[in-house]
Amino acid sequence: MTERTARGRWVGAVAVAMTLTVGAGCVDADRSVSLRSPASSTTTTTTPVPIPPGPTTTTVGEREVAPAEWQDCGEGFQCAELAVPVDHAQPGGPTLTLALVRQPAQDPARRIGSLLMNPGGPGGSAVGFVRNVAGSLPAPLQERFDIVGFDPRGVGGSTPVACEAGVAAMYEADPTIEDAADRDLLLQTSQAFVDDCEQRHGDLLPYLGTEDVARDMDLVRQAVGDDELTYVGLSYGTAIGQVYADLFPDRIRAMVLDGVVDLSRPGVDGARLQASGFERALDAFAADCQARPACPLADDPEGAIEQVMGAVEAQPLPANSEPDGVGPGLAALGIAQAMYSTALWAPLAQSVEAALDGDGTTLALLGRSYLSGPSFSAYFAVNCLDSEWPEADALLAAGKDVAGESPHFGEALVNDYVRCSLWPAEPNPIGPPQAEGSPPIVVLSTTDDPATPYESGVAVADLLPQGVLVTNEGAGHTIFTDGKSCIDDATVPYLVDLTVPADELRC
């Protein structure tokens, strides 16, 4: 592996397009890593997770769905489980289980129904998300709605996909290709991960796509007793919402999509767009650092990061928590993680300063926090089904091409999806929604969102027949749960009273 010191030529972050869902701006840094189930807690045995046999009382379409049986599960929340078909085309066949949670409406006499929320991923736990954020939502939402989350199939408390044992090794490999050794290690660790997923869950892998999740959500809607869906989806949760709107446009009461995935640009094209978003986020970080004399990298933030990345390409950086030191894979994860929220910009600057002095400990902690988030198994299980991907060598060549446009993030971000080139389940690509006959759908898009670039939200709002664009001027990934008054003033009356905000409002 050759050392890189030229400006603009370190290439670091892995694909994080829909991986972490954190709020922008003033979000607590801890929340940025709270939505993944820690990889260390994943079983390392090779016993497949069983799929319960049918029949099930839950059926598709307009057929009857048994009401959810809620039980107290602490801290003011109630929990339930719902059996859904593994294959929605065979409603009487094998089933899997969805885990549900709700915070009941605080004003039952004025209760509207349920507000379903999904934090993104793929692989993020909506159960954990609702437990974390329900109590901080604007009062009218807590008063008038049951706040409901369900873990998508393959995630968390639902029937899981758990093949994470090789994830750490996969992301410690150099995500950029300088020589045959880099290529071989990336493919070797990726194939080991894929083989483990196939061994454990081969029968379930074809049924984990976003269309399956959207159909599950319609069963959840019925199980909670709502005639129409009220939904807030963040990051990958916007993909679930778009597919739901395409399948069931007449079953929507209100829908907010925040940090929007553009389904018209799947696969490598979507990764290309996303890389540009991370480049803009890095520019925003650098500008912020240079504007603050206290920032330790104020003289040249990007140059300092590039110097660190060049150094770890040549030799691992010592770190107290890493016996083998910090290599380019782990360092890249730390930098990518910090792009999600401005709350992580100061820790990034401090970590890079320490790395320049020969200590990679805090940079490693940022990278490890990325690895402790949503399930990587579910992340690839969904993304590899939802899009078409080229063969491995063609994908790696595309990574080199994207690096020419996005030199800091492009190659490694594209290369992350080499797992999809190796994936054993045939893809079932989803496309942009038609959603004819839907009510107005509010789209929130942030100007310097790294993971779901602003233009994605613009495109989706324009594509939806009743799309309403609200622009958040700022940095970070998603904004809905951050308490920004302009956003709340646009979204809360819409969710409660169906008062649609002005199209192209800017906050």
Q: CB neighbours of 472 closer than 8 A, spacing ≥ 6?
A: 24, 444, 445, 446, 447, 479, 484, 486, 487, 507
Q: How far apart are CA 103 and CA 76, in angstroms?
A: 6
3-state secondary structure (DSSP) of residue 470: strand
Are 424 and 384 in contact by the 8 Å Cβ rule? The answer is no
Q: Count CB atoms within 10 A of the CB of residue 138.
A: 17
The CA R_g of the chain, rounded to the nearest whole Å, is 22
449 is a catalytic site residue? yes
Distance of CA 378 to the CA centre of its chain: 10
Are 474 and 448 in contact by the 8 Å Cβ rule? The answer is yes
pLDDT score of 18: 33
DSSP 297: T
- Counting Cα atoms < 13 Å in the Cβ hemisphere of 136 gives 14
- Catalytic entry in 158, 448, 477, 482: 477
3-state secondary structure (DSSP) of residue 419: helix
In order, the DSSP letters of 180-244 are: HHHHHHHHHHHHHHHHHHHHHHTTTGGG-SHHHHHHHHHHHHHHTT-SSEEEEEETHHHHHHHHH
- Catalytic entry in 174, 212, 449, 488: 449
Q: Write out the two tokens for 391.
A: 């063969």
CB-count burial class (<10 Å; 0-12, 13-18, 19+) for 206 = middle
In order, the DSSP letters of 157-174 are: TSSB----TTHHHHHHS-
- Counting Cα atoms < 13 Å in the Cβ hemisphere of 439 gives 17
Q: Write out the two tokens for 497.
A: 């009273």
Residue closest to 353 by CA, chosen among 298, 315, 409, 293: 298
Distance of CA 368 to the CA centre of its chain: 17
The tens digit of pLDDT for each residue in 48-67 reads: 334 444 333 334 445 579 99
Chunked into runs of 10 residues, the chain (507 residues) has average pLDDT values of 27 33 30 25 34 39 79 98 96 96 98 97 95 97 98 96 90 92 96 96 97 98 98 97 98 98 92 91 95 94 95 94 92 91 95 96 92 86 96 97 94 95 96 95 95 94 97 94 94 98 96
503 is a catalytic site residue? no
Q: CB neighbours of 182 closer than 8 A, spacing ≥ 6?
A: 1, 173, 174, 176
pLDDT score of 153: 98
DSSP 154: B
Q: How far apart are CA 434 and CA 140, in angstroms?
A: 31
pLDDT score of 123: 93
The tens digit of pLDDT for each residue in 333-390 reads: 899 899 988 999 999 999 999 999 999 999 999 999 888 877 899 999 999 999 999 9
Question: Containing H/E element for 256?
Answer: strand 252-258
Q: How far apart are CA 152 and CA 244, in angstroms?
A: 14
- Catalytic entry in 158, 235, 387, 438: 235
Q: Count CB atoms within 10 A of the CB of residue 342.
A: 22
Q: CB neighbours of 289 closer than 8 A, spacing ≥ 6?
A: 295, 297, 298, 301, 345, 349
Q: CB neighbours of 34 closer than 8 A, spacing ≥ 6?
A: 128, 132, 373
pLDDT score of 9: 25
- Counting Cα atoms < 13 Å in the Cβ hemisphere of 206 gives 8
pLDDT score of 63: 54
Structural domains of the chain in order of their starting residue, each with its CATH number: 13-54+101-310+370-507 (3.40.50.1820)
Crossing angle (nearest 10°) for helices 361-371 and 345-356: 130
DSSP 500: P
Pairing outcome for strands 95-103 and 252-258? unpaired
Q: How far apart are CA 85 and CA 204, in angstroms?
A: 11
88 is a catalytic site residue? no
